[in-house]
Amino acid sequence: MKEDKENCVFCKILEGNSPVSMVYEDELVAVFPPLEPVNPGHLLVIPKIHIPYMADLNDESFVHVMKITKLMAAAIRKSTFRSEGINLFLADGESAMQEVFHFHMHVIPRYKGDGFGLKHGSNNFVKMSRKELDEIAMKIRKQLKTIS
């Protein structure tokens, strides 16, 4: 369910109507830990404009989000938080587990045995032929022409 700006929890944070533990802020983005982090050090990088999905974000803002995401990942690795690795996680749409419909990138410190992960049973993978993969690639390439 796509919420509007008035009901968006992230917009309320940005407007100063909800408490936040701000890590970083500039004219385009804000970075803060979620209320329910996967591990200590988990951060959210969000644009300051209400944009529900990745495709709605202009290129300049998207590049800036990724630049700040990279900076936050480096800061987490240098911090005292346990971080043997970093996951970047984007849930883009309800079926992809998006819960807050304001585009945001998760920067999650990870370590062996932390218990977090996307679970996908091995019986859910579908082996495809090269012909099927070529057809998929062709259909997506065709759509690229309509987007660019």
Say which CATH number the domain at 69 has. Answer: 3.30.428.10
Find the domain containing 26 and state its range: 5-119
Per-residue pLDDT, 82: 93
- Whether residue 126 is contained in a domain is answered as no
User: Is residue 127, in this structure, part of any structural domain at all?
Assistant: no
Instruction: Kindly report the pTM of this predicted structure.
Output: 0.85
> pLDDT of the chain along its 148 residues, tens only?
566 888 999 999 999 999 999 999 999 999 999 999 999 999 999 999 999 999 999 999 999 999 999 999 999 999 999 999 999 999 999 999 999 999 999 999 999 999 888 766 666 667 878 898 788 878 888 887 887 5
pLDDT for res 96: 92
Q: Is 147 within a domain?
A: no
Question: Domain for residue 39, yes or no?
Answer: yes
Per-residue model confidence (pLDDT) at position 49 = 95
Domain assignment present for residue 142? The answer is no
Which residue, among 31, 117, 25, has the nearest Cα to 69 in the 3D structure?
Answer: 31
Q: Does residue 134 form part of some domain?
A: no
Residue 129 lies inside a defined structural domain of this protein: no
Query: How many whole angstroms separate alpha carbon 48 and alpha carbon 28?
Result: 5
92 inside domain: yes
Report the domain count for the chain: 1
The CA distance from 112 to 138, in Å, is 38
What b-and-e string marks burial along 39-77, b requiring 16 or more CB atoms within 10 Å of the CB? bebbbbbbbebbbbebeebeeebbebbeebbeebbebbe
Please report the pLDDT score of residue 127 as a whole number.
Answer: 80
